[in-house]
Structure 1
């Protein structure tokens, strides 16, 4: 197989990392399928653009350990890893600017997963959306609640926390359905920091404004499960042309005016066109352009944009050794950060090299820092309340009224075991002058005490 010249596919040098003032942003892509036009417009293109912003240090990884939770077909995993890596690089991801790696090439990640597992409460995992959803589906089907549920699915949030905390990412771009996992990562980080010292940055969920979603061929959300997606690179021009030919339109004939707004053709055309091109296409439709000609215009517009990228994709897929080299270089850069950090964490938890032990000193009674305290009470109105008070008596958190004491107690229990993650939707208000960080630290201390 002909090897490409070094200039055709850049191999990242082991560049030094940026200063502490830089914002680290981490993005993972699960490798269980191939990417379509909607993925490109909604996720790939904006993420690559964001990685080029000044002051941003971007980490992109193929989440192939996560893929094993969803897929037990080795050939599909292997194929998807290559296709997704080639897609991101062809679309413009610069491996010299970002750290691009496979999750499975970083052995420090599963080891960190275990360290975090040892400080994560089972109760918190019981409340993870993916696990609860699987249990609910089993119960609805009359099955055993845990039928078919693996420990991979159950522990998924801890592996995700390790992905994020391994590189102390400040921001993690996610959809709304993933916010809980970022909150869990924060809680686990706070618990570890409380027990073993300040090691982890607390990550923030970077929930973008509603990302640009492309409709599928039938007008619904573009999705493989609906069989309505437009391929990005797979199948070449032929597959793209055939998919666009299947776009559902109305029955108006050539020559009849057509209303562009709300049509699937326009929704697919706009992300690949300038403002002038969008206006011209709409004017032609209103003037009677036939749907067949309109689909040809759409094909040409999209193909003009993604054609050069498809050529790079085909070249990369034909030369997997080049993909491998890029990812191995990325793994070296990632491990240059992960390995020394994990060594620090191992030291922190007591997994140290043997050395002479210090002479045993007389036992000293430990003085524990006073923890914040929950207090439940009933007012003259017959309603039940609770509040969280700091050691100095300041009210950190005040509940609304509850009809029953048990309801108030359930919320206290959740806050003690889930920490700040339970605040979303909780019927509570912060005390006057209390900072978010102070409240989060107080709850983290209670969670750690509960776990201990």
Structure 2
């Protein structure tokens, strides 16, 4: 079966050599595998959460789109589009927002980290936190679910967001799927073996460390100057050098064949000067990056070509997103007006339809405690809990009761009344379990 793989591309900042080796190159290679239908999108709505500089947003989108195209992304094989060109995504985001619990969003790592930072700094917990940051996981869920992607390559720090997308999809399927799975439940494809290039100082290459090597910015001159600043040991020309653990060698490996790596190590152990080693590294990288840089410059000189590619990608994407959103609108009741059968009349028939299944009700009383009760289909009270300090406790007991049935009664804090009618209670719990399957 063809697997849909969806990759989001951050549209802030300028890309460096580490981005190419760790993300762009492997993603493009993966998109060429058989049995894979790849979606690559420019996450420009997400960029608005972190950046309020319009010119920077606009420039970064252009540069990053040009970079992926110059690096060899084959848009005849993949669907390449801007998030902001797909209006179905924000509409689906709202439909999903309406079924997503606030408690789930409260547990999102990015929001919790921002709150913790505010509290540590003596600020109001929500100071400076926008609804964009707070609701970010729902937009990410819509990005994924609008195309029913099977796999989403992410770093470990993003796994929670994929789990949230699965939860939201399951809730929608249960509430509106009418017995079928409306949305595919996506899987996180954790990239444990991503190649992380060291920077000039040996630490992970990062703009924040000011140790990065530019990919295209500044041309060959900037690339050569950056390579010249890579930190090495103090061994002189002619002295044997140990290649292992050297940032320069690790970067060389990312652009060399196995035979070239062996030869380079042997030369260093034989006394190759660091200056000459850096020149060989430059030559090796420039041989691969130079032609891409030329394509990048051509694309940047003609942004209308990039726009045409993205609009073509958006058209492909909307052919899939449009029908799925139409089904979602239909499922939640946003339908065209047509003649429909009248609702059941009020009275016994209406009450019978309303109470077709047993009902669990959770509520809070004036004492501040949380309670739940179970009514039979005819409204008879079958079970009444005692109070709990938190609503979460009550919810956990409801879940346990549905799962374990009468076995849960031994530990469940129950009110003295009503007396437990075990056969009737067992039948009611069985009916609730059947309704969930």
TM-score, structure 1 normalization:
0.78
Q: Which residue of 2 aligns with 1:280?
A: 263
Q: Does 1:116 align with 2:93?
A: no
Cα distance in 2 for partners of 1:368, 1:208 equals 48
Q: How does 1:139-218 map to 2 (within 5 A)?
A: 139-197=119-177, 198-218=181-201
Deviation at 1:356, TM superposition (A): 2.4
Look up the SS of the partner of 1:365 in the other structure: helix
Q: Secondary structure at the match of 2:353?
A: coil
Q: 1:291 maps to what in 2?
A: 274
Task: With a CA cutoff of 8 Å and minimum separation of 6, indicate the structure with the bigger relative contact order.
Answer: 1
Q: Equivalent residue for 2:286?
A: 303
Q: 2:155, 2:192 within 8 Å by CA — same for their partners in 1?
A: no
Distance change in 2, residues 1:371/1:87 (3 Å): farther
Q: 2:298 — aligned with what?
A: 315
Q: Alpha-carbon deviations, 1:126-160, whole Å to 9, x = none? A: 00000000000111111110010000000000000
Contact 2:4–2:37 at 8 Å: present in 1 too?
Answer: yes
CA distance in 2 between counterparts of 1:205 and 1:116 reads 19
Q: Which residue of 1 aligns with 2:108?
A: 128
Partner of 1:255: 238
1:392-411 maps to which residues of 2 (within 5 A)? none
Residues 369 and 91 of structure 1: is their aligned pair in 2 closer, same or farther, counting only changes over 3 Å? farther
Q: TM-score with structure 2 length normalisation?
A: 0.80
TM-superposed CA distance for 1:94, in Å, is 0.5
Q: Tell me whether 1:55 sits opposite 2:35 in the alignment.
A: yes
Rg (Cα) greater in structure: 2
Q: Distance in 1 between matches of 2:322 and 2:219?
A: 41
Which residue is equivalent to 1:36? 16
Q: Distance in 2 between matches of 1:369 and 1:269?
A: 67
2:307 and 2:214 map into 1 onto residues whose CA distance is 24
CA contact (8 A) 2:6 2:39 kept: yes
State the secondary structure of the residue aligned to 2:313. helix
Per mean C-alpha deviation after superposition, the further-off stretch among 109-118 and 308-317 is: 308-317
1:199 to 1:208, Cα distance in 2 relative to 1, 3 A: same
Runs of 4+ in 1 over 6 A off after TM superposition: 368-372
What is the CA distance between 1:412 and its match in structure 2? 6.8
Q: Which residue of 1 aligns with 2:329?
A: 346
Do structure 1's residue 230 and structure 2's residue 199 form an aligned pair?
Answer: no
What residue ranges of structure 1 are gaps of 5+ in the alignment? 1-20, 373-404, 417-444
Deviation track 1:105-129 (CA, whole Å, cap 9, x = no partner) reads 0011000000000000000000000
Q: How much has 1:91 moved relative to structure 2?
A: 0.9
Q: Deviations over 1:191-212 (max 9, x none)?
A: 1111111310000001123211
State the 1:255 CA deviation: 1.1
The separation in 2 between residues aligned to 1:325 and 1:139, in whole angstroms, is 47
| Equivalent in the alignment of 2:407 | none
CA offset at residue 355 of structure 1?
1.8
CA-CA distance at 1:365 after TM superposition: 2.2
Label 1:306 to 1:371 Cα distance change in 2 as closer, same or farther (>3 A).
farther
Which residue number corresponds to residue 433 of structure 1?
none
Deviation at 1:357, TM superposition (A): 3.3
- The residue that corresponds to 2:51 in the other structure is 71
Distance 2:53 2:125 in 1: 25
Does the CA-based 8 Å contact 2:156-2:191 persist in structure 1?
no
Q: Give the alignment partner of residue 267 of structure 1, picking from 250, 270, 278.
A: 250
Deviation at 1:253?
Answer: 1.1
Distance 1:284 1:73, change over 3 A: same
Cα distance change of structure 1 residues 415 and 95 upon mapping to structure 2, 3 Å threshold: farther
For residues 387-440 of structure 1, the C-alpha deviation after alignment (integer angstroms, 9 at most, x for no partner) is xxxxxxxxxxxxxxxxxx999x76974996xxxxxxxxxxxxxxxxxxxxxxxx
Structure 1 residues 89-100: aligned runs within 5 Å: 89-100=69-80
The answer to whether the aligner puts 1:365 opposite 2:345 as a matched pair is no
**Structure 1 match to 2:317:** 334
Shift of 1:306: 1.1
1:337 Cα deviation from its structure 2 partner: 0.7
Q: Which secondary structure does the structure 2 equivalent of 1:195 belong to?
A: helix
> Do the aligned partners of residues 183 and 411 (structure 1) sit closer, same or farther apart at CA in structure 2, a change above 3 Å counting?
farther
Per-residue CA deviations over 1:250-285 (Å, capped at 9, x if unaligned) read 111111111000001101000100111111111111
Q: What number of residue pairs does the alignment pair up?
A: 368
Kindly provide the CA deviation profile for residues 218-270 of structure 1, in whole angstroms up to 9, marking residues without a partner as x: 00000000010111111110110011011011111111111000001101000
